[in-house]
Structure 1
Amino acid sequence: MRDILEPLLHVWESGQIGGLATLVRTHGTSSVPIGSAMLVDPQGLAHGVVCDSAYEHAVYEATLQAARTGRRELLRFDPAPDMPAEPGAGTIDVFVEPFSRTDFAAFREVAEEVAANRRVTVFTVVWHNDPEVIGQHVVTDRKHNTELVTLPESDIFVASYAAAPRLIIFGANTVSAALAVQGRLLGYRVTVCDAHEVGQAAFPGVEVVTDWPHRYLNALSAADEIDSNTAIITIGLDPSFEIPLLTVALGLPELGYLAALSSTTARRQRDDALEAGGFDARTLARLNAPDPRALGAATAPEIAIVVAADLLASRTRQAVYPRAAVA
């Protein structure tokens, strides 16, 4: 739902009725995660994706009918006997319902919590012995897995929205500006921190912080704002800033991704300084150094794409890019 929050809120505030489809269960492989949602707005335009192309039209039509008829139901989509085997062609369960201010009265509260990166969980009755109960929503701030819960007399889909993962880029330059764009596309809340004052215009839609990097990271850690989903990347930092920062970062108990981009010479000097500071080889192995040159990347956008790909690969634990230094 996070990716279609704006059109959902627009329909809700307009007083009109759209259709909402939610992927609640998959049987087999699917490239679309559980909890993905699609809105069919009053003009018939689709926003978001709940399935691969195999069922796209059928799900759209069912969602459109839910908007027109007010019907709330849990539907199963099975592959046709002659359907070629491909990712996303397995059986999926999708809940369709009308979406409006009347149908989901608490949606504004949900939208505000998601937009503010606060935890919010929505419980939706997707099947019940009493048809009048189907489609009821309960909103809470309780932590819960996103899953379909099967009870004796009902099925309840639980959609949990935690704060978006955070990407903190240390060093304000053209590469970090391009990487900030890539980070936002990957769903991160992006912060750019530099010891020197930087104009906000160079980093649209991104939090810009002027502070000593290690001091800012220490403050975030003290405030319990660093966790296993947090990514930290330094780009072209002077050693006087980078070594104290990495000393703090390598000492954090939880961190999702840590990378430093610099020249080969600077990398060797950095590793020597960190080893002299007491970090062993195993600890230093946590420090990634994706190599854009290995893929022929030269411009800031190209370098940013390679770094973003390395971040994504690390998130899924797939080491697909060589670790080296940026020239």
Structure 2
Amino acid sequence: MRDLLGQVLELLPDQAVALARIIDRTGAGPRETGAAMVVTGDGRVLGSLSGGCVESAVLTTADQVLLDGQASLERFAAADQFTVGLPCGGEIEVFVERLDHTDLPVLLALHTALEVHHPVAYATTLEARPDRKLLRLGDCAPWRGLDHDAAALLAAGHNGLIGAQEWTPGLAERPRTFVQVFRSPARMILAGANDYTRALTVAAANLGYHVTVVDARETFTTPSRFPAADEVVVDWPHRYMEAEQSAGRIDERTVLCVLTHDPKFDVPLLATALRLPATAFIGALGSRRAHADRTARLREAGVPDTEIARVRSPLGLDVAANTPEETAISILAQILATRGNATAQPLADLDGPIHRRPD
């Protein structure tokens, strides 16, 4: 949608357009969620959803949406000889809506935010007459019971669906809504090339993190061992962390998990990370005995106790995790609880609403 926004803004003062976006994708697909196609009143097509697989069907829908103003939601699965679909075998959901001059204020605000590189989310209810909202970081203004869920997606830096699970036209509260986020995803840096790291890359990628695996041991640190990671880097972890900070790629959303079990890697990396001005979470895998030894070495390296206390170790929540996959869930649960300032207690033991509204 970002690439087409300027053209849409030029068209809307004079004519309505139909905007079609991929709002959900399962399996293989030609494009990611948020990919857009625009159909004008005089039949021009801008952009693409699938490289030609479903465009003809969406074009027909767009013509009807332009005619009656009623938005449409369609799902396309794998194609066969009788149906329009995706030859790659995946499945996509496409929302087609009508935009006209009344939508200019919110779209102009979106364009301005993108011009100055401000993180922003554009939320659209999947109703016959869609409601639209632009959300910025720190904006907690109530909006149809969806504002906190949308803010969580913006903080994480990835698109998503929130609200009711089924599309119910006219639903007043928490309608099913597509939130398109214009922000780089939050980073997770995993130091150490081992089985626990591999399991954590898979689980973290499912939460929308941009995952980097870094280790100085070239033999173990290969993309084939970590297919779910976005980056696999052969380097000393502390040196890599310093370079990323200098390049401005570490921020208050960055999560660091030290999984190396080796003081010659752990201590320099933690000493470096604890000096950084902003991180979301710093954790280190290992036993209580290992962490006591690590703490003593950090003190010898000149790291004050107040900073050492920021390291979550032993890492993870007490969920009787044993396998790498179970441990990954334990670690991610702790990260989620820390990020959301939650108790990490069983919901059955707590009072009040299940879905917390953060301050």
Same fold (TM over 0.5): yes
Shift of 1:320: 1.7
Unaligned runs of 5+ in 2: 1-21, 26-30, 37-47, 75-96, 124-130, 135-179, 346-359
Shift of 1:284: 2.0
Question: Using the alignment, how far apart are the partners of 1:2 and 1:248 within structure 2?
Answer: 40
Instruction: Look up the SS of the partner of 2:310 in the other structure.
Output: coil
Counterpart of 2:64? 69
When residues 276 and 72 of structure 1 are mapped into structure 2, their CA distance, relative to the original with a 3 A threshold, is farther
Paired amino acid for 2:121? T
Question: Using the alignment, how far apart are the partners of 1:201 and 1:316 within structure 2?
Answer: 33
Q: Is the 8 A contact 2:185 2:208 kept in 1?
A: yes
Count of paired positions: 227
Counterpart of 2:32? 6
Q: Note if 1:238 corresponds to 2:262.
A: yes
Question: Using the alignment, how far apart are the partners of 1:126 and 1:70 within structure 2?
Answer: 10
Counterpart of 1:186? 207
Q: 2:234 aligns with which of 196, 210, 214?
A: 210
Q: Note if 1:169 corresponds to 2:169.
A: no
Q: 2:331 aligns with which of 289, 307, 314?
A: 307
Shift of 1:292: 5.1
Query: With structure 2 as the length reference, what TM-score do the two structures score?
Result: 0.54
Q: Note if 1:286 corresponds to 2:310.
A: yes
Shift of 1:97: 6.8
- Higher RCO (C-alpha under 8 Å, 6+ residues apart): 1
Shift of 1:146: 2.7
Counterpart of 2:17? none
Deviation digits for residues 20-50 of structure 1, max 9, x if unmatched? Answer: xxxxxxxxxxxxxxxxxxxxx85xxxxxxxx
Question: Using the alignment, how far apart are the partners of 2:330 and 2:295 within structure 1?
Answer: 22
Q: Note if 1:262 corresponds to 2:286.
A: yes
Shift of 1:281: 3.2
Question: Using the alignment, how far apart are the partners of 1:278 and 1:266 within structure 2?
Answer: 19
Tell me the C-alpha RMSD between the 2 structures.
Answer: 3.8
Q: Is the 8 A contact 1:73 1:127 kept in 2?
A: no
Unaligned runs of 5+ in 1: 19-40, 43-63, 76-95, 100-123, 149-154, 322-327
Question: Using the alignment, how far apart are the partners of 1:264 and 1:320 within structure 2?
Answer: 20
Paired amino acid for 1:222? S
Instruction: Look up the SS of the partner of 1:218 in the other structure.
Output: helix
Question: Using the alignment, how far apart are the partners of 2:341 and 2:106 within structure 1?
Answer: 37
Q: What fraction of aligned residue pairs are identical, expressed as a percent?
A: 30
When residues 2 and 306 of structure 1 are mapped into structure 2, their CA distance, relative to the original with a 3 A threshold, is farther
When residues 224 and 69 of structure 1 are mapped into structure 2, their CA distance, relative to the original with a 3 A threshold, is same
